[in-house]
Structure 1
Amino acid sequence: MMTTMNVIETRPLKPLFLSYLFPAMIGMVLMSINILVDGIFVSHGVGPTALAGVNIAVPIFSILLSISLWIGMGGATLYSIALGQNNVERAHRIFTLSFFAMIAVVVVLIISLLFNLQSIAYLFGANDSTYPYVKEYLYIILLFGIFYTIENMLSIFIRNDGNPKLAMIGLITTSILNIVLNYLFIFVLDYGVTGCALATVISTMTGAAVLCLHFFRKQSQLKFVRKFFNWADVKSIFAIGLPSFIVEASVAVIVILFNVTFLHYLGDDGVTAYAMVNYIHTVLLMMFYGIGMALQPIVSYHYGAKLMNRVTALLKIGITTALILGFVIVFAAMLFPTQIIAVFGDNTTEIREMASRGFVQFAIGYLFLGINMVFAEFFQSIEKTRLASLIMLLRSILLFVPALIVLPIVFGANAIWWTFPVAESITALLILYYVKKNPKTISS
């Protein structure tokens, strides 16, 4: 039988990478578009204050996604390494352990958040005008949040099991249904923000159901087994998946800190302007994350099979892809900022102009984001977790927080937009310097 392992090991690298890249990138973009769609429909159908409220609640997606990525990517890396070593039984145990570990963590987290909903909302940046919308949206998302994490984990493992197209189809199903239901619930039934949340929940559950079709595939290696628990494997899953957790958890932290900072310097208009840019950023960030998602299964497999020449070549392909994407985004932002921001139509001229100017400055960071994301995903895929975690901490906390504090104090409120490019560019330079001084890091 021609297994997934045979295909990965023998196929030329560029076609192999592309066969994973497009489904992964489309899938990740569609996942983020679900959030973007929520923003567009709420902006046009409910109003700018509701948009700000939903944006304030958006970090909950990052929190839930961070858990599923933490355990999912950690488990999937071990899963693909096991397949590369031709140890199918271990792959089964890793998948089962990852799935049930994630369920346990997410259930405890959701219960804790539901019992502290008001405190969480104000911590995220809500005020008296936005809190009713935050509460309305957040309650429903949390109540059914387990399905969001299940869908994401299944898509990760299905991609690692050699079926990236089904992972993409599941997320396409979610995205299309979310658009249809948002229109129905907001514009036809006038359910407001509640309708937006219901659309997200129902579409996610349907997408997860589509992904379950993979278990009926003859070539599938994904199987639940009874004997799966092992403390050493638990520790390895959480350790290897830590960089993925950091990148997504930091998204939540970044949005909260940006909301608080914009509110302090520019008031509610600043928060709404940032909300527009952040919805677009969420889509673009997922495109870069999609490059890493495409690299991870094939890099981890080749690493397990000790094919290091192909591992190094895959890194170069990933970096080149990320740089091309970064330049395309920067040029588009510089040429069409007003048109991009115009998708959020029901706002004042001042808010739209603030968002358009801010996006041009903010977009410079995409030139460097791809380098950081690809290197972090690469190091994670070959079990060099400390390096991957350090990259994510540099770009999201260690450099970002000081820049967010200092830039508006020194250069004025407008400089808040420069926080992202400053943190990403310094991180990229440090990575390139380190790799130049330690070339064996990427070849052994």
Structure 2
Amino acid sequence: MENIFSKKLTFSQFLKFVMPAIISMVFISFYTIVDGIFVSNFVGSDALASINIVLPLINLVFGFAVMIGTGGSAVIAIKLGEKKIEESKNTFSALMIFSFVFSLILGIILCFFMKDISYLLGATDRLIDYSITYGIIIAFFTPVFVIKSLVEFFIRTDGDFKFSLFISIIGGVINIVLDYVFIVIFGYGIGGAALATGLGALISLLIGLLYFRREKSTLKFIKPKFDFKIIKDVCINGSSEMVTELSTGITTLLFNYLALKYAGEDGVAALTIILYAHFLLISTYLGFSAGVSPIISYNYGARNYKKLKEVLKYSKYFLAFSSIFIFIFSITFAKGIVQVFVDPSNNTYFLALKGLYIFSFAFLAVGFNVFASGLFTSLSNGKISAIISFARAFLFVIIGALIFPTLFEIDGLWLIVPFAELLTLLIDIFFIKEYKDFYHLEF
């Protein structure tokens, strides 16, 4: 691992190193979007809208997984950098057991109260049946989604990015195949989409767990000594990512309300398409952040500041080039992206197309914001990471929601996220300058 994380790399070698994590996240977003494509084309736009109604619950589940995954990866990678191998194994095992128990309880609660929760999240009488069906099946698989996410995080932390990518691709391919079987052949509707997602994650998880039984893996399951202080520290350190996911859930709820207010169920369907496109296009940054974080944590723990400087410099180059490319791509191919989900004769098409044109300006800043939050998490400074995430995903979004829809109605809804991303960029610059000397942050 020392050779993998600390050896000098060229920019092309650096990209090759982080590319499996990027591809993995892009692929995850892609097969999530495939669910939406199958539902939209074979079940209907109301079913597509109902997925967005349930989305805050999915944000809650993955928020917990990402909190443990990012916070735990940083703590474990630093211990590995300090050569504390047994401590890293103990932390890994304790986090997996804790996460399974917590997610099991959470899933049971969600299953029992799905109808009430769906109405609370804004489901109309037209959408409620779809929301309940999709939500209950997803809730049933809660422990699977959580542990599968952690397995991918910790395999990358252990230094095997390719195997993490492999299990992600396997799960995605199975999901897509089962989408076709359950929705198109068997006619299971929106329930088939949820079932395909759950089973794809389950098979991916089972394969992933085999990794930790391999001789070459550093992280292995042991009977852990539970230190709840470490679990608390992991939760605090990863809280920024939890804040991001929960804030995304809250803002999605707000966006659903505004979309219903100004454009009805068609507005919610258009919003769902834009959020799918957003998830696909920013998944590059989410994957990059996940891929580069173990390198930053390891070298910070090993006090290899020369390597840290190299990684940050290459990160800056990647973020600058990719931000411009993704912005141009989203503008150029907006019509094709929207048309995948809905026919141009549908009113939802025009709402989504105009929305995506406006929304695309967020891609110029979002990469830097995702990386800045992940950077401070990698350095075990969950407080600053949480501030950045809270400002980006909640505070500035709420401010934008109070201003733009009042002035521009449905078009104002699409302006909120670009506004929030731009202001967050200023927060990033402030904190990086503030902590430049403390963490040896030389870009």
Equivalent residues in 2 for 1:41-80, closer than 5 Å:
41-80=38-77
Q: Write the deviation string for residues 283-327 of structure 1: whole angstroms up to 9, x where unpaired.
A: 223221111101111100001101123223312322321222221
Equivalent residues in 2 for 1:236-255, closer than 5 Å:
236-255=233-252
Cα deviation, residue 438, structure 1: 5.0
Q: Write the deviation string for residues 135-181 of structure 1: whole angstroms up to 9, x where unpaired.
A: 11111111122111111100000000011101001010111111111
What is the aligned-residue RMSD (CA, Å)?
1.6
Quote the Cα distance in structure 2 between the aligned partners of 1:338 and 1:92: 49
Tell me if the contact between 2:107 and 2:141 (Cα under 8 Å) persists in the aligned partners: no
Quote the Cα distance in structure 1 between the aligned partners of 2:203 and 2:435: 47
Tell me if the contact between 2:69 and 2:153 (Cα under 8 Å) persists in the aligned partners: yes
Quote the Cα distance in structure 2 between the aligned partners of 1:48 and 1:87: 53
The match for 1:313 is 310
The match for 2:288 is 291
Unpaired stretches in structure 1, ≥5 consecutive residues: none
Equivalent residues in 2 for 1:406-425, closer than 5 Å:
406-425=403-422
Q: Which moved more, 1:408-417 or 1:256-265?
A: 408-417
Tell me if the contact between 1:48 and 1:347 (Cα under 8 Å) persists in the aligned partners: no
Quote the Cα distance in structure 2 between the aligned partners of 1:135 and 1:322: 40
Q: Provide the secondary structure at the position in 2 that maps to 1:343.
A: helix
Q: Write the deviation string for residues 362-412 of structure 1: whole angstroms up to 9, x where unpaired.
A: 010111111111111111101122111110011011111111121111233
Q: Provide the secondary structure at the position in 2 that maps to 1:223.
A: coil
The match for 2:155 is 158
Tell me if the contact between 2:212 and 2:221 (Cα under 8 Å) persists in the aligned partners: no
> Which of 88, 91, 94 lines up with 1:97 in the alignment?
94
Quote the Cα distance in structure 2 between the aligned partners of 1:343 and 1:106: 34
Quote the Cα distance in structure 2 between the aligned partners of 1:159 and 1:19: 14
Instruction: Name the aligned partner's letter for residue 186 of structure 1.
Output: I
| TM-score, with structure 2 as normaliser | 0.96
Quote the Cα distance in structure 1 between the aligned partners of 2:20 and 2:402: 38
Tell me if the contact between 1:17 and 1:295 (Cα under 8 Å) persists in the aligned partners: no
Q: Provide the secondary structure at the position in 1 that maps to 2:159.
A: coil
Quote the Cα distance in structure 1 between the aligned partners of 2:309 and 2:56: 35
| CA pair 285-122 structure 1, distance change in 2 beyond 3 A | farther
Cα deviation, residue 67, structure 1: 0.8
The match for 1:393 is 390
| CA pair 316-250 structure 1, distance change in 2 beyond 3 A | farther
Quote the Cα distance in structure 2 between the aligned partners of 1:413 and 1:88: 54
Tell me if the contact between 1:39 and 1:55 (Cα under 8 Å) persists in the aligned partners: no
Quote the Cα distance in structure 1 between the aligned partners of 2:16 and 2:95: 25
Quote the Cα distance in structure 2 between the aligned partners of 1:325 and 1:166: 25
| TM-score, with structure 1 as normaliser | 0.95
Tell me if the contact between 2:334 and 2:353 (Cα under 8 Å) persists in the aligned partners: yes
| CA pair 222-433 structure 1, distance change in 2 beyond 3 A | closer
Equivalent residues in 2 for 1:333-412, closer than 5 Å:
333-346=330-343, 348-412=345-409
Cα deviation, residue 132, structure 1: 0.4
Unpaired stretches in structure 2, ≥5 consecutive residues: none
The match for 2:15 is 18
Instruction: Name the aligned partner's letter for residue 260 of structure 1.
Output: Y
Quote the Cα distance in structure 2 between the aligned partners of 1:402 and 1:157: 36
Quote the Cα distance in structure 2 between the aligned partners of 1:220 and 1:42: 40
Give the total of aligned pairs.
441
Instruction: Name the aligned partner's letter for residue 282 of structure 1.
Output: F
Quote the Cα distance in structure 2 between the aligned partners of 1:174 and 1:276: 23
Cα deviation, residue 48, structure 1: 1.0
Q: Provide the secondary structure at the position in 1 that maps to 2:238.
A: helix
The match for 2:35 is 38
Q: Which moved more, 1:363-372 or 1:331-340?
A: 331-340
Q: Write the deviation string for residues 320-366 of structure 1: whole angstroms up to 9, x where unpaired.
A: 21222221121122222111111113474321011111101101011
Quote the Cα distance in structure 1 between the aligned partners of 2:297 and 2:188: 46
Cα deviation, residue 272, structure 1: 0.9
Instruction: Name the aligned partner's letter for residue 360 of structure 2.
Output: A
Quote the Cα distance in structure 1 between the aligned partners of 2:10 and 2:96: 30
Tell me if the contact between 2:79 and 2:85 (Cα under 8 Å) persists in the aligned partners: yes
Q: Does 1:260 align with 2:257?
A: yes
Quote the Cα distance in structure 1 between the aligned partners of 2:343 and 2:40: 6
Flag as ranges the 4+ runs of structure 1 deviating above 4 A. none
The match for 1:204 is 201
Q: Does 1:135 align with 2:121?
A: no
| CA pair 438-158 structure 1, distance change in 2 beyond 3 A | closer
> Which of 110, 119, 142 lines up with 1:113 in the alignment?
110
> Which of 218, 224, 227 lines up with 1:227 in the alignment?
224
Tell me if the contact between 1:341 and 1:355 (Cα under 8 Å) persists in the aligned partners: yes
Quote the Cα distance in structure 1 between the aligned partners of 2:16 and 2:91: 25
Cα deviation, residue 13, structure 1: 6.0
Q: Write the deviation string for residues 213-263 of structure 1: whole angstroms up to 9, x where unpaired.
A: 312332201212223201221221111111121122222222211111111
Tell me if the contact between 1:96 and 1:228 (Cα under 8 Å) persists in the aligned partners: no
Q: Does 1:126 align with 2:126?
A: no
Instruction: Name the aligned partner's letter for residue 278 of structure 1.
Output: L
Quote the Cα distance in structure 1 between the aligned partners of 2:116 and 2:108: 14
Q: Does 1:177 align with 2:174?
A: yes
Quote the Cα distance in structure 2 between the aligned partners of 1:347 and 1:139: 32
Q: Does 1:271 align with 2:264?
A: no
